[in-house]
């Protein structure tokens, strides 16, 4: 089996990032800044929209823009940083063409669907790992990426096969980006993230919809808008295609978490029947339960 162009365990080698949006740019910036000391032998960027890749490069995410996806497939480390449905299509189409001995990892927000596709479409000669860097901003595209966002952030590492080298290389990659690798299986990841990330995204859009649809006097409503609203709806500024991708890919757990939210709202509505003291007690109970 041909190994990638770098000694095992030494680092990511030549990295190709497929998808130069906010997440790809963020990781590219972190890896480019880390450089050879962290085993990064340059970052190449590919995006279906070449102007996006060019902007990403300008932001410092890589040394060059690839004109052809095929060039990405021969890298030592391929990072697929596109919405989940696109990741699955990429694996279906190109998984078999990845270089033996290379590492392929994604950045999608839902993992079971991705690692299943990796098992099906990536040959065992390639080290495949599911990844999820838990960092970013709500601003889509390379412009939304900020250097340093990866630093100290969790980076979920999700096994695809019994392949310790895959996990070791994924750890090295996460560490090179300054992140903290967190080993977790796909199902646990998806169950947790449904509630800690996907539900907050869905709620942000849903509250935004209520504010928009409510028969509110626009001018007065705008002048009364609170910082609290901005906090809760901030995630509704996220790229809808990215958000729709992980919500769809994690639909079962997302639906469960929505049902739990509706139940929680109903329980608080019942507490509201009991007057302000009973409601305050119910709210305080949640806070105590959440504090760690």
- Site residues for a second copy, 80-139, by CB under 8 A, read 83-85, 134-135, 138
Does residue 223 bind a second copy (CB under 8 A)?
yes
Of 1, 68, 164, 292, the one binding a second copy by CB under 8 A: 292
Judged by CB under 8 A, which stretch of 7-15, 46-54, 92-100, 262-270 contacts a second copy? 262-270
- Residue 281 touches a second copy, criterion: CB under 8 A: yes
Cβ proximity to a second copy: between 168 and 279 the closer is: 279
Residue 175 makes contact with a second copy by CB under 8 A: no
Q: CA-to-CA distance for 11 and 33, rounded, in angstroms?
A: 14
Q: Which is nearer to a second copy, 102 or 179 (CB)?
A: 179
In whole angstroms, how close is the CB of 77 to a second copy at the nearest point? Answer: 23
CB of 1 to a second copy, least distance (A): 33
CB burial readout 192-224, b (16+ within 10 A) else e: ebbeebbbebbbbbbebeeeeeeeeeeeeeeee
Q: Give the residue from 58, 65, 52, 76 showing the smallest Cα distance to 176.
A: 76
Q: Which is nearer to a second copy, 38 or 82 (CB)?
A: 82
Residue closer to a second copy, measured from CB, 74 or 137: 137
Q: What residues numbered 189-208 form the site for a second copy, per CB under 8 A?
A: 189, 191-193, 195-197, 199-208
Is residue 12 at the binding interface for a second copy, with CB under 8 A as the rule? no
Residue of 9, 64, 224, 270 that binds a second copy (CB under 8 A):
224
φ/ψ bin of 178: left (φ > 0), alpha (ψ from -120 to 50), beta (otherwise): left
- Of positions 143, 168, 175, 232, contacts a second copy by CB under 8 A: 232
Q: Is 143 in the site for a second copy (CB under 8 A)?
A: no
Out of 29, 105, 156, 174, point to the residue binding a second copy (CB under 8 A): 156
Kindly determine how many residues on this chain lie close enough to bind a second copy according to the rule CB under 8 A. Answer: 91
């Amino acid at each position: 089996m041909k190994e990638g162009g770098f000694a095992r365990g030494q680092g990511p080698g030549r990295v190709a990032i497929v998808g130069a949006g906010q997440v790809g740019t963020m990781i590219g910036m972190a890896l480019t800044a880390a450089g050879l000391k962290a085993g990064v032998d340059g970052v190449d960027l590919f995006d279906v929209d070449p102007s996006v890749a060019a902007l990403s490069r300008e932001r410092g995410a890589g040394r060059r823009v690839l004109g052809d996806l095929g060039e990405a497939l021969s890298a030592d480390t391929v990072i697929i940083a596109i919405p989940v449905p696109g990741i699955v299509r990429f694996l279906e189409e190109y998984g078999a063409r990845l270089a033996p001995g290379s590492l392929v990892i994604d950045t999608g927000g839902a993992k079971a669907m991705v690692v299943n596709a990796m098992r099906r479409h990536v040959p065992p000669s390639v080290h495949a790992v599911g990844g999820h860097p838990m960092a970013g901003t709500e601003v889509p595209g390379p412009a939304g990426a900020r250097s340093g966002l990866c630093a100290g952030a969790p980076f979920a590492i999700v096994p695809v096969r019994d392949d310790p080298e895959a996990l070791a290389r994924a750890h090295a990659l996460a560490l090179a980006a300054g992140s903290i690798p967190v080993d977790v299986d796909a199902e646990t990841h998806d169950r947790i993230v449904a509630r800690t990330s996907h539900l907050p995204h869905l709620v942000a859009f849903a509250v935004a919809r209520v504010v928009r649809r409510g028969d509110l006097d626009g001018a007065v409503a705008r002048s009364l808008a609170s910082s609290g609203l901005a906090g809760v709806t901030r995630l509704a500024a996220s790229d809808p295609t990215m958000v729709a991708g992980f919500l769809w890919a994690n639909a079962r757990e997302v639906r469960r978490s929505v049902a739990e939210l509706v139940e929680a709202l109903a329980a608080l509505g019942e507490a509201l029947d009991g007057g302000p003291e009973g409601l305050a007690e119910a709210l305080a109970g949640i806070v105590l339960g959440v504090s760690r």
